[in-house]
Structure 1
Amino acid sequence: MVLNHDRDGCELADWLHAHERVGVVLGPGGRGDAGLVLRWLDAARWLGGRGVTHVVTISGQDYPLRPLPELHRALAESGDGFAEHFPVLRAGSHWPLREGRSRYLYSWRSLRPLGPRAKARLRPLQLVNRLQPWWRVNVSYDRLRVGRRTGSGLPAGWEPWGGSFFTNLSWRAVERVLAAAEDESVMAWARRSLVVDEAFLQTVLVNDGSFALVDTAGRYYDFSGTRHGSPRTLATLDDVRRARASGAFFGRKWDPDAPEQVWATLDAGLAPSAERSPEAWR
């Protein structure tokens, strides 16, 4: 396992650094820019040559919902793994087309960090995004950012594809992503885009055209009653029930301070069980 951790975040336990089967990679935190993608690439490079067959991306708030042997079997049967993917600039997008254009056809520059009160005060500035096509303003992800319309600059014939950053990929697919990271036009697009972690892996792999990807993240999310694209935090036994019923392999985002009974109930469902339908995870 490789753990990519915010170097300015909490201290990690000493045993994690010393464990022979755990690699610790420290990097910058934050969201909105290319940081998550760069950290994923660092982790993938660390894994190279270690006999890895698949890379499953999870966060500290993911928790398994099904026994790991079921995940292993599903990955082996999937082709190149499973990753949600959809075009973001045409019909079939899961986002408004304006959102896809703003994220991936503009060159974004970070101006300053924002606290919660400053974000609320400056949010009306985003009205400018609906009045003209040349500039964009964004106050999400704890920073004030301004974007200028430039086009994507991706290689000829490529288009942006979106999806969850939480993917489950064959090593063959990971190697293709690492190769794409050597292409300066691809990385220039990544560095100037907004929230590129929700497009980078999909854009590389779908445009390649040679990968068999099941169109799901294999994650349970609950977006009911939420705003600004963040899923609700999971913390109750009802959340456990709904998450389990989804057939997903992981649920997110779990509250670290959820009652002990929640964790005990989750753990009780992780013992290997009778054979399940192959369709359950799709």
Structure 2
Amino acid sequence: MPAAYVILSHGEGGQIPRLARAILSSSPDATVFVTHDARRGALPSLEVERVHSRAHGRRSDWGSWDLVAVTLEAMQWARDTVDPDLVVVLSGQCYPARPLLEWESELRAAGGGWQGTATPLVYTPAWGRRQGSGDDNLTRYAYRWFRARPIDGALRAEDRSAKVMWAVAHRTEPVLSLRNVSRGRGAYVGLRRLESPRRRRDRGAVYMGSQWLAMDRRLLATVLEELTEGSELRRRYEHSIIPDESAIQTVLARVQPPTVSVPTSYCVWEPDKDETRTMTVDDLADIRASTSPFCRKVDPDRSAELLDALDRSTGVA
């Protein structure tokens, strides 16, 4: 069966009609599934054949379990509707950067599997002032996290009380940690899940990677099964922070490495702004060099020249 493109949309969603048409022009037999967070704006009308759309009011903020749940529901929706041999997960701010039919054929010819990134996380916390060893992003998923609304204001203000809280959390990290998800829901307090070394080994490695990925029918079934309602892995991720960068990626990478270790959507992170850069025509050469089938993020106005150039290069009618 042809590919299914799952699009996660939010805000005004004004880019979605053009994105859907570009996908179908580049992959004529594909089907598009748009799931839209309507809290801040309605989804524009999408009266296009093979485009399915629906809105929700879930609090699917960045870094939340709700965002993963919405993604899984959309993937299940695509599976139930067309049973595709390839599912691609995108945001509403993505845009085709390569002829999609060509890219789909390349991935299938390579044996299917999945495309995306997955970095194993290993970290050992330390008591006192010493830094732990490894990548402390593992604490996002090895601790059970609780929203800490009463300290949101203090952490944002970065006052003396905030410094005291950070100092305490740093010194007690093997048991307790503190995080401020600045673009998400604010402050969290985490308690480390204490388990035997054997139990930790049985659970398997934890991975972190791009949200924008593609997988074949077999791996789609595995993801939906491993993260089904009530499963142990799902329960762990429901109480983690920023699970959208690990839950699905961990399931996939535990089965096999990515067939193509490149995100489905090429993007550039700007640490000083704490956000993904909005692409312009000046990024065209880098987008092409990335070999990713999509780029992100694009804006209908600021990226207009880039979108036109991409349409020409991908043969979009």
User: TM-score range with shorter-chain normalisation?
Assistant: 0.7 to 0.9
Structure 2 length-normalised TM = 0.73
1:189 and 2:236 equivalent?
yes
Partner of residue 130 from structure 1, selected from 165, 170, 192? 170
Alpha-carbon distance, 1:136 to partner: 1.7
Partner of 2:121: 88
Which residues of structure 1 form unaligned runs of 5+? 273-282
1:230 and 2:275 equivalent?
yes
1:104 and 2:141 equivalent?
yes
Percent identity between the aligned chains? 24
Q: How does 1:195-274 map to 2 (within 5 A)?
A: 195-209=242-256, 213-223=259-269, 225-227=270-272, 230-234=275-279, 236-258=280-302, 260-271=304-315
The secondary structure found in structure 1 opposite 2:39 is: coil
Alpha-carbon distance, 1:151 to partner: 4.8
Paired residue type of 2:102: E
Alpha-carbon distance, 1:138 to partner: 1.7
Alpha-carbon distance, 1:118 to partner: 6.7
Structure 1 length-normalised TM = 0.81
Alpha-carbon distance, 1:132 to partner: 2.1
Alpha-carbon distance, 1:71 to partner: 1.9
Moved over 6 A (4+): 152-155
Partner of residue 10 from structure 1, selected from 36, 41, 50? 41
Q: How many residues align?
A: 263
Provide the rounded CA distance (Å) in 2 between the counterparts of 1:228 and 1:169: 31
- Asked whether the equivalents of residues 7 and 28 of structure 1 are also in contact (C-alpha less than 8 Å), the reply is no
Whose strand proportion is higher, 1 or 2? 2
Provide the rounded CA distance (Å) in 2 between the counterparts of 1:196 and 1:269: 35
Partner of 2:60: 29
- Asked whether the equivalents of residues 155 and 185 of structure 1 are also in contact (C-alpha less than 8 Å), the reply is no
Paired residue type of 2:94: D
RMSD over equivalenced CA pairs, Å: 3.0
Alignment CA distance shift 1:165-1:131 (3 Å): same
- Asked whether the equivalents of residues 154 and 185 of structure 1 are also in contact (C-alpha less than 8 Å), the reply is no
Paired residue type of 1:215: S
Alpha-carbon distance, 1:108 to partner: 0.7
Alignment CA distance shift 1:232-1:186 (3 Å): same
Alpha-carbon distance, 1:155 to partner: 8.6
Partner of 2:16: none
1:182-233 per-residue CA deviation (whole Å, 9 max, x = no partner) reads 3521111110111111111121122235x7632221332223x524863322
Partner of 1:280: none
